[in-house]
Chain A
Amino acid sequence: MSAIPNTVQIKKHHSQTSLTHMACPECDLLQAIPPLAVGESVLCLRCGKSLYTHHKNSIDRSLAFAITGLILYIIANMFPLLSLKALGLTQDSTLISTALALFQADRPFLSVVMLLTTIIFPATTLIGTIYILIQVKTNTTDAFTAPLFRFLQSTDAWGMLEIFMLAMLVAIVKLGDVADVIFGVSLYAFVLLILSLTLLSASLDPHDVWNKLREKKG
């Protein structure tokens, strides 16, 4: 964090492309955003909220992680994640079968929650991010880019695959005591998927996309 000379004078901010000033989303303090070197971030002067981080090649790297993530997501959904062997029988589980099992067990609400948090929102995040980043790269953003990106930003907290990963670890340890738990092919893809999603969120600052959109508007 660098010291910011704070002269709050905003001129022509309608046509600004990259943000020269920002209001802290958590305390509303207006402050100047200085030009940043790669890897630097600006924290709010007053409450410490991280306002902006300058990532290296943010758009390219994020696109790479999102495409890797989508491929892994497809593989993770194609084969069983875990299998349980007991009494000569084997029971497989995938992401979708977990949601469906809850539906069959008369818990439609839980089933819908699982479906949204582990299948739909992760998928929209990956596909939507790829679509928007390609648009930004090829300079073909249109009237739907902004609403789509807003949707992705507001549903971001509801994709919960990393929490599902932790839940699988718990289930493996719990069941390991009483039955044979077999790791499915998809489990490895799933672990790598979590890694790509983490790298994706660490490499993309939403401001980088908004700056491009502002640039286009002029």
Chain B
Amino acid sequence: MNLKTARQADLIACHFCDTLNQVPNIDETANAKQEYYCSCCQSEIHSRIPNSLSTTWALLISAIILYIPANTLPIMTVVMWGDGQPDTIMSGVFHLLDSGMWPLALLIFVASIFIPVLKLIILTGLLLSVYFKTHWKPRDRTVLYRITEFVGRWSMVDIFVIGILVSLVQFGNTASVSAGIGALSFAAVVILTMFAAHSFDPRLIWDVIDDERLVQHQFQQVNKT
């Protein structure tokens, strides 16, 4: 079959409107001065997201570092009759379990612990797989990327719960809720991983395979003649 990637056909697809723009000899090396714009929507177009790997690494490493205070510092303090009880993400889950609210405990566990950790692991794995130019299951890796990108924002649920509690429970010294530094770090982790997923270009997963296929193809042609 005559299958090609857009780049092999000297085309750049627009990120927004998917218009295929003909660009002969695409040069996206670091010192290339040429910038290309979409013929339909005038946005700047790139065959691959520029500096995708280094940007994603930077965002991901910041997220991993912030993940530590996000889990060790209190995300919320509930003050009842003058007594404050600070909770971290994990101790909050245990309190819910203790009071018999296991569906809520499960929900918060999935949104605040399972998804962020999974996301950090998947993104690290994807970056390493591109770095080591592996050919391992490109389709599965693309699906993993798609899931990460889709599901990541739901981790914000705990931050919103804290916001609602802070705004609702305002009864002075009798009962009040305040947001801790942990919540700040956690929100930053979620936002950074969202940006990290966004800056990762899944086409890099396929490039290794496509480049070699093209080389083989040319090699066969040379042999025939």
- Give the interface of A toward B (CB within 8 A): 6-8, 10, 13-14, 19, 21-23, 25-31, 45-49, 82-84, 86-87, 89, 91, 93, 97-102, 105, 107, 109-110, 113-114, 117-118, 146-147, 149-150, 153-154, 157-158, 160, 163-164, 166-168, 170-171, 173-175, 177, 206-207, 210, 213-214, 217
B142 within 8 A of A: yes
- Give the interface of B toward A (CB within 8 A): 1-7, 9, 11, 13, 15-20, 22, 39-43, 96, 99, 101, 104, 107-108, 138-139, 142-143, 145-146, 153-154, 156-171, 174-175, 178-179, 183-184, 187-188, 191, 194, 198, 202-203, 205-207, 210
Complex contact B191–A91 (CB within 8 A): no
Complex contact B191–A213 (CB within 8 A): no
Closest to B164 in A: A171
Given A21-B20, A25-B13, A102-B166, decide whether A47 and B138 contact each other with a Cβ distance below 8 A: yes
Complex contact B161–A174 (CB within 8 A): yes
Closest to A111 in B: B163
Complex contact B184–A109 (CB within 8 A): yes
Closest to B177 in A: A105
Complex contact A6–B2 (CB within 8 A): yes
A13 to chain B, nearest CB (A): 5
Closest to A118 in B: B160
Complex contact A93–B168 (CB within 8 A): yes
Complex contact B18–A19 (CB within 8 A): yes
Complex contact B184–A97 (CB within 8 A): no
A-B contact pairs, 14 of them (CB 8 A): A8-B2, A8-B4, A22-B20, A23-B5, A28-B203, A49-B146, A146-B40, A146-B41, A157-B194, A158-B153, A163-B153, A163-B156, A171-B168, A174-B101
CA of A55 to CA of B180, assembled, Å? 46
Complex contact A153–B16 (CB within 8 A): yes
Closest to B207 in A: A28
Closest to A176 in B: B101
Given A102-B179, A110-B163, A174-B165, 17 other A-B contacts at CB below 8 A?
A: A21-B20, A30-B4, A83-B168, A84-B169, A86-B174, A93-B164, A109-B187, A110-B159, A117-B156, A149-B16, A157-B198, A160-B153, A166-B160, A177-B99, A177-B101, A207-B17, A210-B17
A52 to chain B, nearest CB (A): 8
Q: Which residues on B sit within 8 Å (CB–CB) of A177?
A: 99, 101
